[in-house]
Chain A
């Protein structure tokens, strides 16, 4: 089973700053199998990125995904107040779906 490790656990930033979130897989994975989600308190997760770099419908272009092999990154170019949330990476390796433990982006 592939394990996804996200870092850092918490990122303390201010609005307007750039956020860089990391997701490392325990073994090489295909980029097409990596996705990112945003979750706000009391809400269901929302799909942001799939295929490592493709934005889901309606996702602003300040969100971008990159990476390959075992290392993947979610970047938020300029944080808006509504971006402070928990972010999860997720990988699909047929037939299993795995989530990372999450990175919290909080107000500094």
Chain B
């Protein structure tokens, strides 16, 4: 049974960099067809996809966030990470990591971490 767990600081100052890591257990991070993604949810609002990475390192980002986002993977540690630069209060959200799976021409997230709240404040 695949499990994902986010970790990282819960408080980040404005203009600084948000860094989170997702640890994957109970399965391989290197399966063909699996994409590892980050999704966030501002308090009381909906879900927003941030970016995804294939285990070989190919990355995909939401266009409006692309200039500030980096997603990386460390297969030896079964972890993938998110860095979001120059944060503002608008980046305050619960951040989820999830496994994205490709089926035919589609893709969906079937396993999710529990989420971690990151607050941007001085």
**Residues of A that sit less than 8 Å from B by CB:** 1, 30, 32-35, 37, 39, 43-47, 50-51, 56, 88, 90, 92, 94-102
Are B106 and A101 in contact, with the CB atoms below 8 A?
Answer: no
Contact A95 B52 (CB under 8 A): yes
In the complex, how many angstroms separate the beta carbon of A77 from the nearest chain B beta carbon?
A: 22
Q: Are A92 and B108 in contact (CB under 8 A)?
A: yes
Hey, which bits of chain B sit against chain A, CB under 8 A? 37, 39, 46-49, 52, 60, 62-63, 96, 98, 100, 102-110, 112-115
Interface class of chain B by DSSP:
strand
Residues of chain B within 8 A (CB-CB) of A43 are: 114
Whether the pair B52, A32 counts as a contact (CB closer than 8 A) is: no
**For residue B102, which residue of chain A has the nearest CB?**
A92
Chain B residue nearest to A57 in the complex (CB): B110
Cross-chain pairs A/B with CB under 8 angstroms, 21 sampled: A32-B104, A33-B105, A33-B107, A34-B106, A35-B108, A37-B47, A44-B98, A44-B113, A44-B114, A45-B96, A47-B109, A51-B104, A56-B110, A88-B46, A88-B47, A96-B60, A97-B49, A97-B100, A97-B109, A101-B46, A102-B47
Q: In the complex, which residues of chain A have a beta carbon less than 8 angstroms from the beta carbon of B37?
A: 97
* A-B contacts at CB below 8 angstroms, number: 74
> Closest residue to A39 on the B side, CB-wise?
B47
| Closest chain A residue to B113, Cβ basis | A44
Q: Closest CB of chain A to B58's CB: distance in Å?
A: 8
In the complex, chain A residues whose CB is within 8 Å of the CB of B106:
30, 32-35, 50-51, 92
B48's partner among A1, A34, A99 (CB-CB below 8 A) is A99
Residue of B nearest to A48 (CB): B108
How many angstroms from the CA of A39 to the CA of B41 in the assembled complex?
11
B49, B100, B105: the one contacting A98 at CB < 8 Å is: B49
Residues of A within 8 A of B105 (CB): 30, 32-33, 92, 94
| Residue pair A90, B108 in contact (C-beta under 8 Å) | yes
Q: Is the CB of B49 within 8 A of A47?
A: no
A98 vs B37: C-alpha distance when bound (angstroms): 12
Check if A45 sits within 8 Å of B107, measured CB to CB.
Answer: no
Give complex CA distance A50, B110 in Å.
Answer: 9
B63 & A99 in contact (Cβ 8 Å cutoff): no
